[in-house]
Every structure is written in structure tokens, then in C-alpha cells.
Amino acid sequence: MKDFTLKSIALQDVRVIRDPIHNYITIDNQVILDLIDTPQFQRLRRIKQLGGTSQAYPGGEHTRFSHSLGVYWIVVEMVSKSVIRNCISDYEFLCAMVAGLLHDLGHGPFSHSFEDIFGDNHELYTVRIIKECPQISRILDRISADMVEDVCRIIEKSHPNSILVSLVSSQLDADRMDYLLRDSYFTGVSYGQFDLARIIRCIRVKDNKLVYKHSGVQAIEDYILARYHMYWQVYFHPVGRSYEIILKSIFKRIKDLYSRNFDFGDIEYLLPFLNGTVTACDYTNLDEAVVLYYFHKFTTCDDAILSDLARRFLDRDLLGYIDIDSEDNAIVDNIKARQKIRGFDVDYYVGIDTQQAVLYHYYGDSHQIGEIEIVKNDRLVSFLEMSEIVGAIVNSKKNKEAHKIYFPK
Amino acid sequence: MKDFTLKSIALQDVRVIRDPIHNYITIDNQVILDLIDTPQFQRLRRIKQLGGTSQAYPGGEHTRFSHSLGVYWIVVEMVSKSVIRNCISDYEFLCAMVAGLLHDLGHGPFSHSFEDIFGDNHELYTVRIIKECPQISRILDRISADMVEDVCRIIEKSHPNSILVSLVSSQLDADRMDYLLRDSYFTGVSYGQFDLARIIRCIRVKDNKLVYKHSGVQAIEDYILARYHMYWQVYFHPVGRSYEIILKSIFKRIKDLYSRNFDFGDIEYLLPFLNGTVTACDYTNLDEAVVLYYFHKFTTCDDAILSDLARRFLDRDLLGYIDIDSEDNAIVDNIKARQKIRGFDVDYYVGIDTQQAVLYHYYGDSHQIGEIEIVKNDRLVSFLEMSEIVGAIVNSKKNKEAHKIYFPK
Amino acid sequence: MKDFTLKSIALQDVRVIRDPIHNYITIDNQVILDLIDTPQFQRLRRIKQLGGTSQAYPGGEHTRFSHSLGVYWIVVEMVSKSVIRNCISDYEFLCAMVAGLLHDLGHGPFSHSFEDIFGDNHELYTVRIIKECPQISRILDRISADMVEDVCRIIEKSHPNSILVSLVSSQLDADRMDYLLRDSYFTGVSYGQFDLARIIRCIRVKDNKLVYKHSGVQAIEDYILARYHMYWQVYFHPVGRSYEIILKSIFKRIKDLYSRNFDFGDIEYLLPFLNGTVTACDYTNLDEAVVLYYFHKFTTCDDAILSDLARRFLDRDLLGYIDIDSEDNAIVDNIKARQKIRGFDVDYYVGIDTQQAVLYHYYGDSHQIGEIEIVKNDRLVSFLEMSEIVGAIVNSKKNKEAHKIYFPK
Amino acid sequence: MKDFTLKSIALQDVRVIRDPIHNYITIDNQVILDLIDTPQFQRLRRIKQLGGTSQAYPGGEHTRFSHSLGVYWIVVEMVSKSVIRNCISDYEFLCAMVAGLLHDLGHGPFSHSFEDIFGDNHELYTVRIIKECPQISRILDRISADMVEDVCRIIEKSHPNSILVSLVSSQLDADRMDYLLRDSYFTGVSYGQFDLARIIRCIRVKDNKLVYKHSGVQAIEDYILARYHMYWQVYFHPVGRSYEIILKSIFKRIKDLYSRNFDFGDIEYLLPFLNGTVTACDYTNLDEAVVLYYFHKFTTCDDAILSDLARRFLDRDLLGYIDIDSEDNAIVDNIKARQKIRGFDVDYYVGIDTQQAVLYHYYGDSHQIGEIEIVKNDRLVSFLEMSEIVGAIVNSKKNKEAHKIYFPK
């Protein structure tokens, strides 16, 4: 693909999308425009970015659609405003944009709870959708027969060019940077703000890796702490977690009832997930509207547990909670016993939730490219060594943890 | 209700809700807290504030839930930070808060299109829900047997105390002020910004009316122009209108097919709206998730028009458009003829849309309390006389209008 | 200068300046960098953008230094993000950047009041400084022997290429756009906000003129109204005007005393302005710090009027005011008479101030290029015809005017 | 002062000041209004909040005047929106407001450099000005004969009621909170942002101390890190430090020349600081404008060093720098030797600057009330124990330090 040029797919009339985070997101090539217009991508308008969090922060109703556009745009900015532009080919640039745009295609409705119960993995499904849904793959095939594969390898972090992977999926990638700014803006908290423009300005390429200039350490530190505080202030908010616990109980109850041949009525769009025959294209039919509809129906179904949980979910009649120590089995047993006496099935009505956010390396343990590296005097140094703050916290080996038990008020 | 005090229902532990527009919205009494927890109010989480607009501005996914909280809060601010606090009783203050909070309860899914076809009126339904749904009315009954009626009269603009009506429903009310700021913030445009703090500071009461101090004229002017520009830049965006036209065509097609006894499968929650037996409580079951689910199902139904429209709606495969003069029947006829030849039923596939936003008195024509009045030298003067800008525009009798015809690309 | 390329003066290491309005202002060529480093440009750090306004809005302490950088940057953005980039040469682009950067060099301390009394004109002095101060001219001479002249002709609006003039000095130029956004931000009001990104996106070139796309009319309307509201809410604030009136009285008293050979002590830096021998380079020595120092000294001088006015100025012990009709000579005479009785010299202690801001064509009357033009269906149409709002106001021929008389409290 | 009520000094017509940080700052009593109108307080308009920092961040031109209003306002908010309102008397509340408003009165021009050379201490001078300047003290005397003393004891941290001291001067006080938000806004960086509203909501009073609720730990953590990042990104910016080093050299040269009876011409306002006879009221005459004027004059004085330094300062012709290890005397000696050869007097032209910001307890070491305490399960716990992050950093005993040596380019 050495011959490919972005110019060859340039739009005559550049499109812009107004976005509160990035002001204008510009679409200047046909491939990105066509991908946005696929049903698979449009479906992301019906998958919210934050599941239960919007129960605690009512402004947080934004979708994976606008987030995905944002990730695409940060990839464009990271490349075109840095030295990366000179280090990758036009084709590689396009692959990175596409990977950024599509990286969330595989998210199910209320994604994390859904994944927990139905055992799917959104990254896996993203790759399957790109490969199996012809509306997507034929757009990429037009550029090159390898493009589907190349895009998927970026998403799977197996692409040989680590710069492309770093842009889309690392500890300091376009995905995380967009969601922190976006979640912060829509929920109305200041915690997730950091200095994106400066981080982009500090990008360097060394030994074929995306690394950062020494003077960017503070901005990266600020970003890492922003993420940490967003976890504790926003993503771990007990109202949101309580909502997720009910959600998981509903999915669990559905699964359990299905195994007992319960008559749900028409649940066509859920069936493939229950009987394990799900295809990539089944995803296009399953969105949060569909799931919410089923919950409406379940409120009047014959199973008392399912109908009660569905009603609680829709009416936001959530579970209460108390803080516990992790080892504290006595309290847990006691609460379970009391709920049983009150008539609640503890498998569905009592949930224990452990909150823990590793400040650094949160998602990065499993792959070597997660590490942020800094150029100092022309040598690469680990970010941990350069940052007194993050270094001290990581070395302290104290990970903030909290445990809560949820049960009916 | 002279004896009623807000202190008697004060919460010991004041609740706050984080909101990007107002930072913290404070709930300090039991009545407001209980109303928020009703299923009718929680349903507003599943009704978006902006229908088709979010198709053009992907950030605009906020719901009537957060807007309603915002209206409540602006009512609280307008009263407690102005002389109104001394002019109305605690009971009247509570009625105004409740009216602000609940004023949008009667909105159907994708409200304006839905109303157009099913002929309901959201204000009417709001009043019915407050009166007929026991979850709501019993909260109000606890305060006073008249409270349901008093709140409804504020919403219906028939309450004898015009100050209360002005707070919730006038040309410069908490509703409009919240939605301009909110829609502007979430869509990411600057047009809807105006100086709320200054407007509140300029509130005066004269002749038992809510009026404004002379020095507030500029801020009000700015608000009126903000609204005008929001209409033209955001609410009238052709992508949003195209989406609304398809939506209306879908509802129209459903209605037409229903009259021909088409077999829709299970459309339980829509039925009362089709057969005209809708009760206030049917509203609780009908939200945008349910409607979207039906649209999913319709994509595979036996009616080619309904299935195509539903698919277009879900996949955002919208209609194109051209600008027309209003009188230009030749072009309209020509376009319709061509669409017929292409095989499209013009009743559903061709739509004419007229955009017109009266700068001043937009909603105010029908009721005398819409007029904004200014105190100058202790006399009341019409805002129109005080504002060179708005006066000139109104006197010019030129109303910006635009007409577009939509049809398949 | 056809051979000149910006590449030939490109900086290896691009500089950025953090700015609250534009986030990062980028300096990528040696000429701009060198000009910023001249004493004449650094002097602008000691000339505030808003004279008396900061007395009413204490946040408004920003200087002509940051404003000038902002104007430079908007010129860069208007050119590089629009079709203008293809319509002008690299040399012309550089001339426009430089004209934007330097356009305010000739501002005296507390500029408008100073100009009123000492009869200089800041535009004239800007041109003189560029031509006469070798630190500036030699930087431009290095590029071309004509560059000094070409830059000055842009500032004087006599350059043959009207696009360059429009960028720097028209009704919708980089200067006005920067100061509205900047003054609004620093004073903390919302009135001056408008959609700069959209205006830039709508730039077109037709018949060798800088014009705007039809879809930009709303954004331009919003900009014009933003300017109008900034005048009435911020620039005309009576506290600021009162401060300017005292300032003018001080300058007037100095002039009057000078003509009577009053012994001021050392006023070296003011002398050239008093005896009419001012050179361009005298400007570098006269800034607001110097003038404030003289005022400090004057508080203890032998002239009672000068010492009192200087004290009032430093301690913000300003004049009071009442609104008057313009024709109302009786009230004016009456007030003057009363102040005389109180012992005040009415030549210095009574001031009449007329506020009037023409919505459109405010500065544009004298030159043909002030008109904003819109491309519609490939024809150029006056903005006034396209904007119902601005058209109606201009046609109404009602210009908001206000008159105030100021005198000691 | 048990009988004193704020009502007794309430303004009939409340004043508001527009401020970009707090939107509206409200003045509702006569004492605060009168204090703002004193020459001593108005002088703060001519003392900038950030000395050299505005050389690196040109937006940072805000003054101690607006900062002082902001501190006053945060004190009002901390008290009136928390339980403190019920724990202190009206008189104590007024004393805290006044202390917040006046705490910076004693700052000299370009304060820290000035203090370093002339050995004054701004806190000491603040107290002297309040006690010795009759314009201030007589306003306070009207309320109570003790008020001057009580206000000064808050500023000196010796007041018996630790709540009052904590409001104005502790590790989490109105002063620091205002300057972080303000400096961040005006310089245009995001680092200083934190969640002020939440911190105020978490205020509690226990054992007569101002403490914080457990759920506020994250917000406080964020504030502490915001401060840390502001130090490293903004306050320690090398351009700003270079400017401060020249400033200090100028003051040092003035002092040295004075001791040698150098003829400066008229430096009336500086003399008291040179000959050690400075009175509190001399402060009113010395502001940054006066100092800048002297620098203008010095550019043509007979001392080559002073004239060169003054010119460098005015024209921002600053020193360059390189990073050094603290122990690295060889490099320092080498640089000094080379500057000597170039003809520079190293006492004035070479400066070593050590940057170090203690994350926690930065100013708090010397006094016991600096510690932030958290209520958890009705017990007081040190903030350090509650914050994994700040705890880890403090325990790591690694303090980020940097050393630079400055010398002529």
C-alpha cells in the first residue's frame, strides 16, 4: 500500500460535525464518511457511553457514537499535529483513523453488565463485526484486501507497527483521552479535565515507538490523576453501581429462567445471546432500546423476581448499600440472612461490589506496549521514573480499594 | 394554606444533583424528592429533550429528566434570589417549584412528531398525569387538598397569581431559560448562551406582576436573540428536520395501517394511542425505547413502506432536500411526480417543511401574560418599547421564513 | 516577491504561547518571532486593552500585547483554514500576519482619552513606528525592500489586495473578532461570545474579495449583535466612562498648565507630546506605568485641580452621573451652576458623555471595503439584505443613544 | 460583640461585581464596601497577582485587587453555605470576611523579588497597614474597638478561634483556592481547576475546628494536586523565573548603589525602603507603575549595570538557562568564569534558582492548624491517612526538585 494516498479518497466538500469536546470534528475522506453511515456505526447512537453512571449524574447521557467520533478525531490530531505524520504512511494513517472510529462497535447494551453475564468480549465482537458485516468490510476492501485485517490488528494490539497500536489502545491513547474529557463534560464534573493540546505537542517518535518529550511529564501526570479521580468520583458512584448490580441480576435471572425454559414471550433479539448462536450481525439488532423494551414487558411477566427487578430498574428503585471490609464475611452472612428472612432471593438481591482502580497500568498489565516512555537526553526512560508522584504511588503498593454490599432498602 | 411552611417539609440531609448547567441542583424538601422518585418522573430519563436534533448535533442526547430538574432549579433561583420571595407564600413557592419540575411529564416519545400524528397535547397530558396518577397526586394531597389543582393551574396558565405563571410559562420563563442553556451546552454551540444571573438580578414585582428592572433590557435582548439563533442554527437544522419527517411518516403509516387492520404483531404499548383509549397512566409505559423497539420489529414487517421507513430511521438513511419558495407549487409538483416514477409513495416520502421562528411573542400570542414588562421610573413599559433591536425587528414585520421539500436522495 | 516562501523563514523549533482564548498561538516563522521581541512590541505589555472598563469589570486587565498576538493568530487561522490560502502568495500571507500583529503599536497610554486630548491617531502612529523605528523596519527589510510599505498599506486600508485589508481591518476582521472574545473572557461576561470557528469555515473568495457563504449569515448576525451588546454592557459602563472623563480632564489640565508654563517637575516622557515634537520612538518610552507615576507625583503638586484629579483617578474616587436627554440644556446648565457654587471648575469636573454604537457599519462608513458580502447562488449580496435582523434594525434608523452628565458626587 | 448583627450594617442596595471566576461577587454590607473604596485597597489594582509569570503566560495580567475580592467571596461562601454559619457569631463572620479581603494589602510591587531584597514581609505589612492607616482602621473602629486587633490576629494566625484562621490561612483556605482557580483561568491552563463547590459542601465543624467530611477526600486530593501542577507548570516556568532573577538583580543593584551614594535622581517613593524608614502609608505610594517608571529612567542612568538590567527587564531581553544538579559546583563555576570573561558582573548576571514545591504542608510546617482533618465515623483523622495518593507521595519522601542556572544568552 505504498502507493495509496489520502488525497485519492479526499472529499471535495469536507464535512464537519459539531462536538462539545473538540468543537469541530472534520471528515475529509470518503472511507470515514462511508463508515459513519453504516447501520453498525449508527447503532452506537443507541448505546450509551456510561451505563449506570447517568443515574447518578443525569447529564451523562452521551453515546458511544459521539465518543467514537471523538476517538477518531484525537487520532487525527495526534498524527497530523506531531512528528508521527512523517513516520507512518498514508495507508497506516487511514488504518489508525478507522481503528479509532470503529473500536467500540462490539459493545453490547449496558456493556459491562451484559458482558459479565453473557460472557462476550466487546473487543472480540468489534473485530468480528468488522470482518463479518459486509457493510463495513466492503468499504475497507475497496482500499486494500488487507485493510480489514490491518485495522483489526490495531484493535487487537497485534499490529507490527506499535505506533498505530499506541494511538488507539495504550495507557495514553485516543480512547481514554476522549472518554475522560467527554465524561467529565457531560456529567459536569471537573475531575476528568487535562491538557490534551500539550500532550499532543509532546509526542515524539523514537525507536519506532510513540513516546513523549520530557517537558510533557506534568501533563501526563495530570491525565493519569484525572483518570484516577474520575474512577472514584464518577465511575464508582454507588448509585451507578447499584443500578449495574440490578442490571446484572436481571441478565442473570433471564439466563437462569431460559435454562429452565421459561416462557418470555417474544425475545427474538436476545435469543442468540442466550442460546450461544450469536453472529456479528445480531449485534446490529441489539441495542439499549430493545433491552429496555424487554424490561418493560418483564414488569408484567409471570416470574416475580424478574418482574420486580425490571420494575426497580425502570423506576430507579435501587438497592441500598453499606461499606464493608473485604474479609468481613460475618457482616455479609448476616445481611444475606436478613434478606432471606425478608423474602429476597440473595442470588439476585444481594451484591458485593469491589472498587479498585490501579492508578497506572490499569489496563496495561497484559501487554508490553502499555508503558508510557519519555525521551530524556535522547534516551528512553519509563514514565514511572520521571514522575515523582505516580512513581511514589505505584511504589507504595497501596491500592485504594473499597467494598460495598448492596441489598434492598 | 397560610400556615404551611417549607420548613415543615425540609429534609434533614439536603440532596444535591450535579448538573453541567447549574453545577449543583439542591433538593431541600421532601415533596420534590418524592416527586423525583415517581415512575412518571423517572420515565423522563427515556424521553430525550431534542428529537431529531441529536442526529445533526451528536452531543444533544440529554433528556427531559435533566431539563426538568433544571427548570425546577431556575424557579428556585428566580424566587429565592429576588424580591419574589417576599411576595409569595411558602405554599405558592412550593406550587411553582412543583409545576416547574413536572411541566414536561406529558411529553410523548419524540414528542413533537408524535403529537402531530396522534393529536395529543403534552400540556394536557401533563395535567392529566398529575391528576390521575396516584403516585403523583398523593404526594401533593399530603400538603393540601387543593395542591393538585393549584399546580395544574400554573401549568395551564390559569392560576390567579400571575407571578407563578410567569415563572413557569411565559416568554421569559424557567423552562425556556433552561432549555436554551442546556441545548446549547450539550450540542456544543455558543448561540444559546445568555446571562441568566443578570436576568434573575433584574427581577422586580410591580402591580403583582413579575417584571424587570430597566438595566436588564440588554440581558433580555440577548436572551431573545439567543433563542432566535438557536432556532435557526440548531432546532431547524435540515438533518434534524429530515429525521422528524421520516418519524412523522412512520407514525402516519402506523395509523393508516391500523385503520386497515394491519397485523403489527404485539404493539401493546402503542395500542391505546391508536384506538383512542389512552389513559394518563399509559404514558408511563410509552417511552422512546419502546418506540425504537417497535421500529426494529417493523424493519422486517410485511408492509414495504413501514419497513423501509423504520430502517431509514434506525440507520439514519434520511431524506435529501432542496430549498423552495413557499408559493412554488410547480417545483413541488415536479418533485412529487418524479418520486412517484421512482416508486415512492409521496404521502410518506415527500415532506414540505416550513421554518419560522417569531423573534418575540413566539409562544405568547394567545395569552396576555406573555408580554415582558420593564419598570422605568416606576412605570411599566413594554419590553418592545425599551429594546431598539427587538422593537425594530418586530416592527419591520419581516419574519424570516424558509421552506424546504424533503424526498429520497 | 513571487519567489518568497514561508518555508524559507520557518523556525526549526516552532514556538507556542498559551492563550486563554485560542489555547495555543503558534509562531512558526522567524519574522513574527523577531517582531515580538522588539521593544516596541514588548511595550504593549504595559498598555491595557480596556481603559476605564477594568474599573467596572476588575478581571479586564489584559493588555494590547496578548490582544495583538490574538489578532495575528486569527489572521493565520482565517487564511490557513480557508480558500484564501490558495488565493494569496506566501509574501502576502506574511504581510497580513505582520499587519495583524503590529496594528496596535501606535496606541498611547489609556489610548482613547490620550488621543482625544493630544490629537494623535493611533493608526497613524502605528505606521510611523513601523517605518521609523529601525528595530522593526530592519526585520521587514530583510524580506523585501517593499515590505514596510506593504504592511503599512494594509493597516491604512490602501493596499490594492482587498483581501489583505479585510483580514485586518473591516467590519468582520481579526481585530474585532479577537477583542470581542478576549474582552468577554477577561471581564467575565457572556455577551461577546460568538462562533469564530463557523465564521472561518464560511469564508469564500469571489471577485478577489473576502466574502462569506450563505450558511454563515446567522453566525455573522450573532457576531454583530455580540459587538452591539458588548458596547452597551461593557464598553459604555458608566463607571468606566467616569474614569475616562477624569482621565481626559487630567490630560486637559496638564495641557492647559503647560501652556501657562506651570512647573511640573520632571515630565520628560510627556514633553514631546506637549510641545508637539513627538517622534515615533518617543512612544516606546511612554506607557501606562509612566503616566501613572506622573499622576502619583501630581497628587502633591501645586495645582489644586491637577492634584485633586490625580488623586481621584488613583483612588477611584470617581464622578457621579445622571441620565439626560441630549437637548436638555436646562439640566446641564443647572448642574454646572451648582458645581460652580460648590467650587468646582466645570471645565474639568463636569463632563457630558454620549454613547452610541451603530450596529452595523460602525467604523465602516468611510471606506468601501467595510461592507460584508455574502455569496448566494454564485452572486454577491449585501449582508444587510440577507439578515432579517440586522436589516430591520438598520432600516429602522433608530440608533440607541444615551447621554449622561458626570459631576462630583 | 455578641450584640452585633450583620443586619445592622446591611446595604439597602446590594452591590455586585462581575468576576470571571465567581460570576457575581456580592457586597451586602457597608464595612466591606467602605474598605474596597480605601486608597490602600484600590492600590491593589496596580499590583499584579503573578509577577514574572505573565511573561510566559501573557493572559496572566490579573491583579491582587480582583484576587482579594475573590478571597472575600470564598470566605462568604464557605461560611454561609456550611454549618460554620451556625458556629460563629455575626461579628466573627465579619472579621473573617475583612481578613480575607485585606490579607494582601501589604504586598509590595513584584512582591516576592521585592521582599527578598528589601527584607520586608507582606504579612507583617498587611497588619501594619490595617493598624496604622486611618482610612482602614476607622472603618473597623466603628464596629468595635477590638476589630482591628481581631482581624489582624486572623491574618497572623493567632486568633483563638481556629475556624476563622482556617478560612483565611491554612492549607485549604480561601486564599489558595481563589488563586489556583484565578491563575488557572487567566493564564489559560487547566491544571489549577478543582471542585470548589464540593469542597465547600464537605465542610464540617468538630471540636471547634474546620474539618471535612469523608466523602470530600477526593476533591481535596484533586485540589492538592492542582496546586502541585500549577507550581511546576506555571509558577516555576523558566521564563518567569528569568524575569524574577533580573528583577532581583535590579533591586540588589539599586541597594548596592544606594550604599555607595549613587545619584539616582528623584526616587522619592523608593527612598523609605532604602533607608529603612518605611511607614505603613509609604506603601500606598509604591506600586508597580512607580517601579516601572524608575526602571525607564534607569535605562539612561550612569551605571552601566543598572541601565542594562532595566532595559532587559522592560524589553523582556531575559537571561538564558541550563538545568544543573544541585551539587554541581563545577558547572556553576565554569559558567561564572565564562560570564566574567564576557564582561558580566556575575553578582547580577548569574542566578541559581531552585524549584521545590512540597505537595502537602507546603506553607503549613510552622503552625499546627495547617493540617487538614477528615471526620470519619465521628472521629477526626489526618487527611494524609485518608488519601492513598497524597499519603504515598509524602511517605516516599521524594520531593521533586529542579535547579537551573541563569546567565546572559
pLDDT of A213 higher than 90: yes
Interface contact flag, D66 C46, Cβ < 8 Å: no
C-alpha span between D393 and A359 (Å, rounded): 13
Which among D16, D24, D197 is the nearest to B23, CB-wise?
D197
Cell digits of residue D328:
554541581
Interface contact flag, B42 A316, Cβ < 8 Å: yes
Alpha helices, H only, C81-211: 84-87, 90-102, 111-118, 122-132, 134-141, 147-155, 162-168, 174-187, 196-201
Residue scoring higher pLDDT (A155 or A400): A155
C61 near D CB under 8 A: yes
Question: Which residue in D has a C-alpha nearest to residue C41's C-alpha?
Answer: D315
pLDDT of A284 higher than 90: no
Residue C374: strand pairing partners: C212, C381
pLDDT of D368 higher than 70: no
- Residues D40-54: pLDDT tens digits? 999 999 999 998 899
Mean pLDDT of the region C28-42? 97
pLDDT of B364 higher than 90: no
pLDDT of A359 higher than 50: yes
Write out the H or E segment, with its range, that includes residue A317.
none
The per-residue DSSP string of B100-113 comes to HHHTTTT--TTHHH
* CATH number for region A239-356: 1.20.1250.30
Q: Give the residue among B369, B367, B364, B366 at the shortest CA–CA distance from B390.
A: B364
pLDDT of residue C173: 95
- Residues B193-219: pLDDT tens digits? 999 999 999 999 999 999 999 999 999
B225 with C225: CB under 8 angstroms?
A: yes
Q: What is the mean pLDDT of chain A?
A: 92
Q: What residues 201-240 of chain C have any CB closer than 8 A to a CB of chain A? A: 201
Query: Residue length, chain B?
Result: 409
Q: Which of A90-99, A323-332, D254-263 has the lowest mean pLDDT?
A: A323-332
Multiple choice CATH, D6-236+369-401, 1.10.3720.10, 3.40.50.80, 1.10.1270.20, 1.10.3210.10: 1.10.3210.10
Interface contact flag, C42 D290, Cβ < 8 Å: no
- Residues D171-221: pLDDT tens digits? 899 999 999 999 999 999 988 899 999 999 999 999 999 999 999 999 999
Cell digits of residue D82:
456550611
pLDDT of residue B361: 55
Give the list of residues 6+ apart from residue A274 with CB closer than 8 angstroms, or none.
A254, A255, A258, A267
Mean pLDDT of the region B290-317? 97
Q: Give the residue among C207, C208, C177, C173 at the shortest CA–CA distance from C194.
A: C177
Question: Which residue in A has a C-alpha nearest to residue D359's C-alpha?
Answer: A389
The per-residue DSSP string of B117-131 comes to HH---HHHHHHHHHH
Residues from chain C that touch A201, judged by Cβ atoms under 8 A, are 16, 24
State the nearest Cα–Cα gap between C206 and chain B, in angstroms. Answer: 23
B83 near D CB under 8 A: no
Question: Which residue in B has a C-alpha nearest to residue C181's C-alpha?
Answer: B190
What are the two backbone dihedrals, phi and then psi, of residue B261, each rounded to the nearest 5 degrees? 60, 35
Instruction: Report which DSSP code applies to C270.
Output: T
C-alpha span between A198 and A219 (Å, rounded): 7
pLDDT of residue B366: 39
Kindly state the percentage of chain A with pLDDT values over 90: 78
Q: Which of A182-186, C191-195, D8-12, D78-82 has the lowest mean pLDDT?
A: C191-195
Residues from chain C that touch D62, judged by Cβ atoms under 8 A, are 59, 61
Task: Tell me which of D38, D61, D67, D133 to substitute to probe the interface with C (most C C-beta atoms closer than 10 Å).
Answer: D61
Query: Residue length, chain A?
Result: 409
Q: Give the residue among D128, D123, D101 at the shortest CA–CA distance from D42.
A: D101
Interface contact flag, D58 C69, Cβ < 8 Å: yes
Q: How far is CA D368 from the centre of its chain?
A: 20
Query: Residue length, chain C?
Result: 409
B396 near C CB under 8 A: yes
State the nearest Cα–Cα gap between A386 and chain D, in angstroms. Answer: 10
Which among A39, A187, A314 is the nearest to B18, CB-wise?
A187
pLDDT of A368 higher than 90: no
pLDDT of residue B362: 36
pLDDT of residue C369: 52
Which among A16, A23, A197 is the nearest to C24, CB-wise?
A197
Residues from chain B that touch C189, judged by Cβ atoms under 8 A, are 195
* CATH number for region C6-236+374-386: 1.10.3210.10
Question: Which residue in C has a C-alpha nearest to residue A195's C-alpha?
Answer: C23
Q: Amino acid identity, residue B352?
A: I
ipTM: 0.94
Sketch the domain layout of chain A as residue ranges: 6-236+377-386, 239-356
pLDDT of residue C37: 97
pLDDT of C367 higher than 50: no
Question: Which residue in C has a C-alpha nearest to residue A18's C-alpha?
Answer: C198
pLDDT of A343 higher than 60: yes
State the nearest Cα–Cα gap between D347 and chain B, in angstroms. Answer: 53
pLDDT of residue A166: 96
C-alpha span between D241 and D219 (Å, rounded): 30
- Residues A4-41: pLDDT tens digits? 999 999 999 899 999 999 999 999 999 999 999 999 99
pLDDT of residue D282: 86
How much is the CA Rg of chain C, to the nearest whole Å?
23
Task: Tell me which of A71, A296, A307 to substitute to probe the interface with B (most B C-beta atoms closer than 10 Å).
Answer: A296
Task: Tell me which of B23, B35, B63, B293 to substitute to probe the interface with A (most A C-beta atoms closer than 10 Å).
Answer: B293
Interface contact flag, A266 B266, Cβ < 8 Å: yes
The per-residue DSSP string of B227-247 comes to HHHHIIIIIT-HHHHHHHHHH
Q: What residues 299-318 of chain A have any CB closer than 8 A to a CB of chain B? A: 314-317
Mean pLDDT of the region C127-144? 96
Mean pLDDT of the region B158-170? 95
Q: Which of A28-32, C163-167, D107-111 has the lowest mean pLDDT?
A: D107-111
Task: Tell me which of C185, C215, C230, C233 to substitute to probe the interface with B (most B C-beta atoms closer than 10 Å).
Answer: C233
Subunits touching D (CB < 8 Å, at least 3 pairs)? A, B, C
Mean pLDDT of the region A293-302? 96
Q: Do β-strands B401-407 and A373-376 pair in parallel, antiparallel, or remain unpaired? A: unpaired
C16 near A CB under 8 A: yes
Residues from chain B that touch D197, judged by Cβ atoms under 8 A, are 23-24
Which among B191, B232, B396 is the nearest to C392, CB-wise?
B396
C-alpha span between A161 and B234 (Å, rounded): 42
pLDDT of residue B181: 97
Residues from chain A that touch C201, judged by Cβ atoms under 8 A, are 16, 24
pLDDT of A246 higher than 60: yes
pLDDT of A371 higher than 90: no
Cell digits of residue D154:
486572623
Q: Give the residue among A111, A116, A117, A146 at the shortest CA–CA distance from A130.
A: A146
Instruction: Report which DSSP code applies to B48.
Output: B
How much is the CA Rg of chain D, to the nearest whole Å?
23
Question: Which residue in C has a C-alpha nearest to residue A17's C-alpha?
Answer: C198
C15 near D CB under 8 A: no
pLDDT of residue B345: 97
Interface contact flag, D59 C37, Cβ < 8 Å: no
Mean pLDDT of the region D317-326? 92
Residues from chain C that touch A24, judged by Cβ atoms under 8 A, are 197, 201
pLDDT of residue A370: 67
Tell me the pLDDT band of C402, cut-offs 50, 70 and 90: confident
Name the CATH architecture for the domain at B238-356. Answer: Up-down Bundle (1.20)
pLDDT of A366 higher than 70: no
Which among D16, D23, D201 is the nearest to B16, CB-wise?
D201
Give the list of residues 6+ apart from residue B94 with CB closer than 8 angstroms, or none.
B4, B6, B9, B29, B31, B143
Does domain A6-236+377-386 correspond to CATH entry 1.10.3210.10? yes
pLDDT of residue B363: 37
Residues from chain D that touch C54, judged by Cβ atoms under 8 A, are 45
Cell digits of residue A7:
488525497
pLDDT of residue D392: 83
State the nearest Cα–Cα gap between D224 and chain C, in angstroms. Answer: 23
pLDDT of residue B369: 52
Which among A24, A197, A201 is the nearest to C197, CB-wise?
A24
Instruction: Report which DSSP code applies to D161.
Output: -
pLDDT of D127 higher than 70: yes
Mean pLDDT of the region A166-177? 95
pLDDT of residue D365: 41
pLDDT of residue D100: 98
Q: Do β-strands B373-376 and B209-213 pair in parallel, antiparallel, or remain unpaired? A: parallel
Write out the H or E segment, with its range, that includes residue D273.
helix D271-275
State the nearest Cα–Cα gap between C287 and chain D, in angstroms. Answer: 9
Instruction: Report which DSSP code applies to B63.
Output: B
For B6-236+373-386, which CATH class?
mainly alpha
pLDDT of C201 higher than 50: yes
Residues from chain A that touch D225, judged by Cβ atoms under 8 A, are 222, 225, 389
C-alpha span between C287 and C277 (Å, rounded): 17
Q: What is the mean pLDDT of chain B?
A: 92
B119 near A CB under 8 A: no
pLDDT of residue C366: 39
pTM over 0.80: yes
pLDDT of D361 higher than 70: no
Cell digits of residue B296:
426494529
B194 with B245: CB under 8 angstroms?
A: no
Q: Which of C43-57, D353-367, D374-388 has the lowest mean pLDDT?
A: D353-367
Interface contact flag, A393 D393, Cβ < 8 Å: yes
Which among D23, D197, D201 is the nearest to B197, CB-wise?
D23
The per-residue DSSP string of C195-258 comes to -HHHHHHTEEEETTEEEEEGGGHHHHHHHHHHHHHHIIIIIT-HHHHHHHHHHHHHHHHHHHHH
